[in-house]
Amino acid sequence: MVEDVYNPGRVTTMLGLLKYLKKFQKTVGMNLLWYKDTNNIADITTNKGFIMRHLQITKSTTEKGTFSFCVPLKHIFGFCDDYDKVIYGLQHTLSFIRASDDDAIFRAANVDAGKVVLSKLELYMPHITPEFKEKSKIYKQVDTEKTIIPIAFRSRLAEYSLVPQNMNFYCRLCADTDFANPKYILVAFQTGKKLSQTANPALFDHCNMSNIYVTLNQTRYPFFDNYSSFPNMKISKYYNNMKAFYKDYYGDDENANCNITPLEYRDLFPIFVVDVSKRSERMKSGILDIQIHASFTENVPANTFAYVTLISDKMLYIQSYKGKMSIAYNDKDSDDDTVEETIEETVEETI
């Protein structure tokens, strides 16, 4: 298995809010029904996101309520977002585990329960046919040479936890740095949105959070406390962390990307970003004990869940020998006889 994304709705919402350009929702975003909400009401007069989705699904079709959409796999998987080379000799498999709830639907309280019927699901995968000269070169390498091709990407690990009704909360994750090196941790809270169609699952709640930090084997990130007061708009540090994520993640100008204002951040999209990429060398191998600590100015409301997305650098290896292709999850799992210096040359010639 290359990557497993649990609870993809919350994960893609959190990441999408942080990384998509302002113009995305006004153009190609609607092809996957992406348009961020402007309030928490299922209303066709005040909530711009609800208006645009309602218009496309129910007002612009001959048969009311019919629709189709296309979700690029990079919207869900870090592997598809980062790795753009051709892969030879391996089959791609996409597996779905269906949820037992229908709370991804958002509706008003005075209408019937919503229902979505999927009549067709298709997966499109582009194929490339190399020219004869390149094909012969590839076949020669695969059939006669021992070859290792590294595949680097940023994986997404999702967890969620029920938050107790008190003023402190912590949860624990584990990461094996031999397979993945943690880079960022995203945390968001939701109150009363699970198992409900009348609460918007695309919005998050600050729950009067006053401070949040992460420990990796007892080392704190950030090192200093950043106390906030959401009712008094003392949120600038957390807002800047959220805004800077795009620049850090994609190496682009965060000011051109951020489509969330400080008020929207407070009231609709309080997503907390913790950068854990700058770790000492002694923590770059072995098991990491990751703990998330949050404190609040008042008891957290009932039915509140914390959603955590761990983004890590991950490396897989495609290895070929005598016409057989396989995946190695660690360079230690690959053949010791393969010369490491040939990896870069192999990548350039074969993919």
Q: Output the pLDDT for position 289.
A: 87
Q: What confidence tens digit (pLDDT) does each residue in 297-320 have? A: 999 999 999 999 999 999 889 888
Q: What confidence tens digit (pLDDT) does each residue in 270-294 have? A: 999 999 988 766 666 677 889 999 9
Helix%, strand%, coil% for the chain, nearest 5: 25, 25, 50
Mean per-residue pLDDT of the chain: 86
Q: Output the pLDDT for position 258.
A: 78
**Cα distance between residue 110 and residue 244, in whole Å:** 40
Give whole-number Cα distances, 252 to 86, 185, 243, 244, 270, in Å: 25, 20, 11, 10, 22
The secondary structure of 99-158, three-state, reads CCCCCCCCCCCCCCCCCCCCCCCCCCCCCCCCCHHHHHHHHHHHHHCCEEEEEEEEEEEE
Decide if pLDDT at 346 tops 80: no
- The CB-side HSE value for 317 (13 A sphere, CA atoms) comes to 19
Q: Output the pLDDT for position 129.
A: 87
**Cα distance between residue 77 and residue 94, in whole Å:** 11
**Cα distance between residue 109 and residue 106, in whole Å:** 10
Residue of 240, 270, 245 lying closest to 184 (CA atoms): 245
Residue 238 tokens read as 């957390």
Decide if pLDDT at 330 tops 80: no
Q: Output the pLDDT for position 333.
A: 52
Q: What confidence tens digit (pLDDT) does each residue in 31-87 have? A: 999 999 999 999 999 999 999 999 988 888 788 888 889 999 999 999 999 998 888
**Cα distance between residue 102 and residue 294, in whole Å:** 29
Longest C-alpha distance within the chain, in Å? 69
Q: Output the pLDDT for position 340.
A: 36
| Cβ density class 46-64: b for 16+ within 10 Å, e for less | ebebbbbbeebeeeeeeee
Question: Which comes out higher in pLDDT, residue 148 or 234?
Answer: 234
306 with 160: CB under 8 angstroms? yes
| Own/partner long-range contacts of 231-234 (Cβ < 8 Å, ≥24 apart) | 233/262, 233/266
Q: What confidence tens digit (pLDDT) does each residue in 191-248 have? A: 999 989 999 999 999 999 999 999 998 899 999 999 999 999 999 999 999 988 888 8
**Cα distance between residue 349 and residue 41, in whole Å:** 54
Residue of 109, 115, 112, 113 lying closest to 40 (CA atoms): 109
Decide if pLDDT at 331 tops 60: no
